[in-house]
Structure 1
Amino acid sequence: MGEVLGKVLVVDDDEVIRQLIAVNLTLEGFEVETATDGQDCLDRVLDVRPDVVTLDVMMPRLDGWVTATRLRTDEETRHIKVLLITARAQEEDKRRGLGLGVDAYLTKPFDPAELIRIVRELAAAGDRSAGLS
């Protein structure tokens, strides 16, 4: 078993998509935990301590927008890299996500190779910035 590339919390209410993302990232060498919606993510994020959170936008209870905002405004989670994954591809949505401080944006349906590339970059960037503090 090689070196773990980082820890990812995969948040999606669709089990098929959640498993697809989790399996792809696990095979790539990431340690992966999953959450079923934004509230589940917030309940678990401090225990999991991920480097990256992949966050679906359209979810029950707490959507990706609210979840990303809460992750960004909490001192203990604001350093975590956030990748928003959504079926909503409008520029306005991308601007909204970037305005909230999310680190990357991926539109469904997505290419798993693209997902892996983005998560790798975010995990590596988090690594470097962690050394600066």
Structure 2
Amino acid sequence: MGRVLVVDDDEVIRQLIAVNLTLEGFDVATAVDGQDCLDKVRAIQPDVITLDVMMPRLDGWETAVQLRKMPEAAHIKVVLITARAQEDDIARGANVGADAYLTKPFDPGEMIRVVRELAGVKPA
């Protein structure tokens, strides 16, 4: 169906996203922060990355910027999923190359819809 890399330092959120996407038929891998994401992205070759913003080591903003600089990752769709909901944050998301922006708490159905759309997967 499609491969998704779920990146969040909060284990509960990471597992919530991963389980929902797995139940929808996606092949899901996880990473605990931005650096872990960058370390794994070449091997996993995801179609979509769900990316938290506020994380240790390497935050989601900088991770998105680094992904866009990697020729082998520049095509990967990025969904920022964050508690940061101000207009400036949403604009910053667009500036770092995010393809979608969801705020926490998020509706799992909406998250699945966005990931499906970005992965080019038709609804079941």
Structure 1 counterpart of 2:23, from 27, 47, 67: 27
What letter matches 1:108 in structure 2?
A: K
State percent identity of aligned pairs.
74
* Distance in 1 between residues matched to 2:112 and 2:83, nearest whole Å: 18
Corresponding residue to 1:43 among 36, 39, 43 = 39
1:59 counterpart residue number: 55
Using structure 2 for the length normalisation, give the TM-score.
Answer: 0.96
Give the RMSD, CA atoms, in angstroms: 0.8
> 1:91-123, CA deviations, whole angstroms, 9 ceiling, x for partnerless residues?
100101101111000000001000000000000
1:116 alignment partner in structure 2? 112
Distance in 1 between residues matched to 2:70 and 2:27, nearest whole Å:
23
Deviation at 1:50, TM superposition (A): 0.2
Q: Secondary structure, in 3 states, of the residue corresponding to 2:120?
A: helix
SS at match of 1:101: coil
4+ residue runs of structure 1 moved beyond 6 angstroms? none
Q: How does 1:1-133 map to 2 (within 5 A)?
A: 5-124=1-120
Query: CA offset at residue 81 of structure 1?
Result: 0.2
The CA deviation at 1:23 is: 0.2
Q: How many residues align?
A: 121
1:90 positional shift: 0.4
Question: Counterpart of 1:77 in 2: which secondary structure?
Answer: coil
In our comparison, the structure showing a higher alpha carbon Rg is 1
Cα distance in 1 between the residues matched to 2:98 and 2:107: 20
Shift of 1:76: 1.0
User: Per-residue deviation at 1:17?
Assistant: 0.2
Structure 1: tracts of 5 or more residues without a match? 126-133
